[in-house]
Structure 1
Amino acid sequence: MHKLVVLYSEPEDPDAFIEYYTTKHLPLAAKIPGMLSWRYSIEISDSPENKAPYFAIFEAEFETKESFMSAMSSPEGQAVTEDVPNYATGGATVIDYSISGGEQS
């Protein structure tokens, strides 16, 4: 299993981020070939004494690193990558990794 995580920092305009992300970017991302599953959240919890370091998160799972690399180099994957500057004004941190262990529920 190979996982993609995108961590979004606080955007300049949170409402504009949410509107664009949910109506334009996520439908584009859903077309990436080879994704086994994906999920996102724009409801990252803050505590009273500590602001969350990220505004939103996206996670996707692929069968292998090779299937992930192939998916991201596809026209659909490239379109998603090229779309990020259109809404992520606070920046995005992209992490991908192979799952080493754990349990499935």
Structure 2
Amino acid sequence: MARKATQKADENALDFESTLAQLETLVSRLENGDLPLEQALKDFEDGIKLAQQGQERLQQAEQRIQILLSKSDKAALSDYPAKNEKQNDEENFSF
């Protein structure tokens, strides 16, 4: 089951990356300025749709992160001291 969740997350990431790549292509074409007006309008419309899709995917990702963080709040998290910090703490401790 974890494999399916990971696979779905990978597909969503690819979908977002694909959407972003398509949007960047449209922006480049529009910035070039060599398109006829009708094509530029169509590309602009397509770009708006892609931007909305990307925004929705980002919001979904943010919601998932919030859910995961709220679940992890139940267990106290603390930083694990680095090896050097641990040695320094042991050296400063006197008996």
Same fold (TM over 0.5): no
Name which structure has the greater RCO, CA cutoff 8 Å, separation 6+: 1
TM-score normalised by length of structure 1: 0.27
Q: Which has the higher strand share?
A: 1
Alignment TM-score, normalising by the size of structure 2: 0.29
Query: In terms of Rg, which structure is larger?
Result: 2
